Structure 1
Amino acid sequence: MLVAKVFVVLVCAATTVKAIAKLEEVFAWKQVTFTWPSAETEKIAKEEGDYEPKNNLPLGLARWKDKLFVTVPRWKSGVAATLGYVSLNEPINKTAAITPYPDWKAHILPKNDSKPDPNTLVSIFRVAVDKCDRLWAMDTGLADILGNPKQVLPPSIAIFDLNTDKLIRRYTIKSDWVSEDAFFANIEVDVKGDRCDEAFAYLPNLGSYELVVYSFQEDDSWRFKHNFFHFDPLKGDFNVSGVNFQWSDGIFSIALGPEEPNGYRTAYFHALASLNEFSVNTEVLQNQTLAADPHNYHLFKLEGSKGENSQTASSVFDQQSNVLFVSQQNKDGVACWNPKKPLNPQNVPLIIEDHEKLVFINDLKIDADRNLWILSDKLSHFLYRELSPEEVNYRILKIKVDDAIEGSICKV
């Protein structure tokens, strides 16, 4: 019995080490910097409190060609720019400065009682790149979230044409959906086939436990309410690298499965404070009538539990391998699941783990080359302790999807 247990431990350790060995650390910052117009501009920004390096924490990412977009939410004052990019052209500078996107002007917040420019980008948590070369950004519009919160602009979706770097649309979330508890920190984009107008954005409201669906073609939105969007009160206790805290975040991220012949997909979702994974077909989500139907409960499905301490902030689906990747906040790693198997702890193995480089994985993305990108940022330390400017705090790593699942039960 003891020999069998030792063998199992060694096999699991070997699998984990194998994945870690293939992780490529692309960027690593102690503190992020920006490509300022001049040294004098940066100096003035620091003097006036517009740039406080320690308050700039990268959180979301997305790749488009040679640009890797990075978001920096305005958790605290002194965030220079909430959306920017770093170049992936070789040779890559691992501590590269972030270039504000689409330009510096978009990130200048109004002072005193002046009115904001309607195209101002205030506080973006996550972004998505679609197959039509568009960047979708969910802007909360809320600045200095942990200090003196100010709703500079209402929550909105900003959509950019990446070939021209022009803002092509800004859609404001309906005011009666923005309650005191509402918080939109994520966005997933679904384009039907090659019909770029037939695009939908799915916007989880983690604080009000709702899901907003936006239609690009109709330039309109509707919202779903469901019990599955709520957090599990027994699973809101987190311990990330020695930092203990309690959250009550509901529906948090959505990952889309392969497109079916009818153009729809399976959308997988979960609350952050939960161990369960759920699903719903996008045919349901894209039906505005069903959103208002009080009998839509059984159109949503419980897939199963990922297992103890498996709370997930970010997820992404690789359609070629048919594998869902989920971050594991309490485990400093990434797990996987192939929907061809029942969702239970045995079928959701931890395939990547690193207690130094993967402390609080905040975003996962898969690019057109099927690289799995991972952003870790020690968010729990940032919120509840202090980050040391002498240590690497923020990392962006990548691994080929096929390498990540090699040897695991997820590869079917």
Structure 2
Amino acid sequence: MEVLLCVILASIATSHGYIQIASRSPIGTLYRWKQIDYEFATPEARQEAINNGQFIQANVIPLGIERWKDRVFVSTPAWKKGVPATLSSLPIGAPSESPRLEPYPNWDWHNAANCTGFTSVFRMSIDHCGVMWILDSGQVEAFETPRQICPPTLIAINLNTDTVVARYPIPSEFVLQNSLITNLVVDSRDVRCRDLHVYIADAWRFGLIVFREEDAAFWRFSHYSFYPEPLLSNYTLHGLNYQWSDGLFGMSLGKYQQGDRPLYYHSMSSSLEFVVATSVIRDPARVSNAVGEFKLLGDSRGADGQVSAAAVDRNGVMFFNLISRDSIGCWDTRKPYSSRNLIIVAQNNQTMIFPNDLRIDHEVPQMAWIITNKLPMYQFNLIDPNEYNYRILYLDPVAVVQNSICQPEMINLSEYNYTF
């Protein structure tokens, strides 16, 4: 099993604005693949899928990651032809370092017609009651000839029974032309997961869609902070230059205090982090007149500070994927969002190329789970099938920040000119 250890560097000033890299950090590789394979019913069924073009191994890429108890869940969106299943599960302790994905809940959900099954799952978010909220884009072959064959849909699965308990198609008035509805986060506050909302990002049409479970209502709004930064839309990764103008993408929820909690968010093609009180976005009558409630947190992350996913642990520490730096960073949310409070906790230019998704589970103790997938190389058909290209990494969020500026501590907030 691969084990990644951070470089031991202290108090280093860099052009990226980070003043230090944390000391040794325990991070490991759960699984890694050169190419993705599936657990077909029989070898003959697998060969038949290859023969009829249903399974083209080079076209399958893992994108989203979640963990519940002894399983991890992986999405494989149908971005190119030949993706036979778009959501799978794996045991935490598979004997192989490259296990075959097991379609979830079963193969039937991936062969269904008339939009009754899965089409192309992007990401998942699990609430603390064990319900996995799945974002199915409804679009296939986005990197070839895009076809919207089903409406984008929220699907809820009870992980204790592995049964689909609800489907909520997003109303067409909230899905704009060329929308890329790509990420979600669940806000469940009640012990029994009542008063539940889901926040959904539209990266290409720069909007946030809110879903309220109580009455299955949706609403949508936009804000100028959801847009990309023009200069951050140009990327260079391991010699590959490409342009993405993705807006609102990464979202993470802060601690629940005094009846409210913050939603931290950013565009992917951006170096800036923003915050808004969830009480604002949970009120459709208020959010349209609340432009000033969306606030810039502080410093820029620098010229290569693009971030995909982020998540906040129980101790209030945010972890985020720096996709142009083969790195994972951290920030203690009780401190100002400034360069002196942002550090790298993991960095590896071979095993961490394009950390795409990051989730923190509900276990005790918590663990963070990261998918790295070389997405730009996949998009431009530059994946080498002889190399390990896709990984599920795990990270101990408490251990990685020890003796660093991200380690939670009692601080006097009155020392800082910072308000949420």
TM-score, length basis structure 1: 0.92
Q: Contact conserved, 2:19 with 2:340, CA < 8 A, in 1? A: no
- 1:46 aligns to what? 50
Aligned equivalent of 1:77: 81
Q: CA deviation at 1:391?
A: 0.5
Does residue 209 (structure 1) correspond to residue 209 (structure 2)? The answer is no
1:107 corresponds to 2:107? no
Unaligned runs of 5+ in 1: 1-5, 110-115
Structure 1 moving runs of 4+ over 4 Å? 6-17
Q: Does 1:58 align with 2:62?
A: yes
Structure 1 match to 2:92: 88
- Give the distance between the partners of 1:9 and 1:314, measured in 2 at CA: 25
Answer whether contact 1:307 1:344 (CA < 8 A) is retained. no
**Partner in structure 1 of residue 100 of structure 2:** 97
Distance in 1 separating the partners of 2:309 and 2:164: 26
Match of 2:311 in 1: 316
The equivalent of 1:336 in structure 2 is: 330
Mapped to 2, the partners of 1:234 and 1:360 lie a distance apart of: 19
Pick from 26, 29, 35: which aligns with 2:30?
26
2:267 maps to amino acid:
A
Match of 1:164? Answer: 161
**Mapping for residues 174-323 of structure 1, pairs under 5 Å:** 174-262=171-259, 264-291=260-287, 293=288, 295-304=289-298, 305-320=300-315, 322-323=316-317
Over 3 Å counting, the alpha-carbon distance change for 1:388 and 1:147 in structure 2 is same
Distance in structure 2 (CA, Å) of the matches to 1:197 and 1:241: 45
Give the total of aligned pairs: 394
Letter paired with 1:24: G
Following the alignment from structure 1 to structure 2, what is the Cα–Cα distance between the partners of residues 265 and 174?
27
- Three-state SS of the structure 1 residue aligned to 2:273 is strand
Identity %: 30
Higher alpha-carbon deviation: 390-399 or 240-249: 240-249
1:283 Cα offset (Å): 0.6
d(CA) in 1 for partners of 2:151 and 2:191?
A: 31
Return 380-389 or 36-45, whichever deviates more.
Answer: 380-389
C-alpha separation between the residues in 2 aligned to 1:379 and 1:274? 18
Question: Amino acid of the residue matched to residue 81 of structure 1?
Answer: A
Task: Map 1:328-367 onto structure 2 (within 5 A).
Answer: 328-367=322-361
SS of alignment partner, residue 234 of structure 1: helix
Deviation larger for 226-235 or 340-349: 340-349
Supply the distance in 2 between the matched residues of 1:192 and 1:9 (Cα, whole angstroms).
40
Residue type at the aligned position of 1:365: R
Tell me the amino acid that sits aligned with residue 140 of structure 1.
S
Whether contact under 8 Å (1:259, 1:265) holds in the other structure is: yes
Residues 10/235 of structure 1: CA separation in 2 closer, same or farther (3 Å cut) = closer
Paired residue secondary structure (1:330): coil
Name the amino acid aligned to 2:132: L
Gap change, CA 1:7 and 1:275, over 3 Å in 2: closer
Residues 340 and 79 from structure 1, CA distance in 2 versus in 1: closer, same or farther, beyond 3 angstroms? same
Match of 2:127 in 1: 130
Distance 1:14 1:235, change over 3 A: closer
Give the deviation of 1:92 after TM superposition.
3.9
Deviations 1:238-271 (A, max 9, x none): 1122221111100002100111131x21100000
Q: Flag the 1:16–1:383 CA change in 2: closer, same or farther, 3 A.
A: farther
The letter for the 2-side match of 1:346 is: R
2:401 match: 405
TM-fit CA distance, 1:152: 1.8
Mark the CA change 1:344 to 1:359 in structure 2 (over 3 Å): closer, same or farther: same
Matched residue, 1:325: 319
Report how far residue 290 of structure 1 moved.
1.4
Question: How big is each residue's C-alpha offset from its partner over 1:133-180, in whole Å with a ceiling of 9 and x where there is no partner?
Answer: 101110000011111222121111011111111111111111122222
Is the CA contact (8 Å cut-off) linking 1:186 and 1:253 kept in structure 2? Answer: yes
Work out the CA distance in 1 between the residues paired with 2:240 and 2:97: 27
Cα offset, 1:17, TM superposition = 6.5
Structure 1: distance between partners of 2:126 and 2:305: 27
Equivalent residue of 1:235, what SS?
A: helix
User: Over residues 45-66 of structure 1, what are the superposed CA-to-partner deviations in whole Å (9 max), with x where a residue is unaligned?
Assistant: 1111000011110011000111
Distance (Å, rounded) in 2 between the aligned partners of 1:31 and 1:17: 33
- Spell out, residue by residue over 1:332-378, the C-alpha distance to the aligned partner (whole angstroms, 9 max, x if none): 00111112221122211111100000000011111123111111001
- The code of the aligned residue for 2:269 comes to A
Alpha-carbon distance in 1 for matches of 2:11, 2:128: 42
Measured in 1, the distance between the counterparts of 2:164 and 2:368 equals 27
**For 1:153, what is the secondary structure of its paired residue?**
coil
Matched residue, 2:417: none
- Seen in structure 2, the aligned counterparts of structure 1 residues 99 and 70 have a Cα distance that, compared at 3 Å, is same
Residues 22, 401 of structure 2: 8 Å contact kept: no
Paired residues of 1:26 and 1:92 also in contact (CA < 8 A): no
Moved more, 70-79 or 360-369: 360-369
Gaps of 5+ in 2: 1-8, 410-420
How far did 1:315 drift?
0.4
Give the residue type in structure 1 aligned to 2:265: F
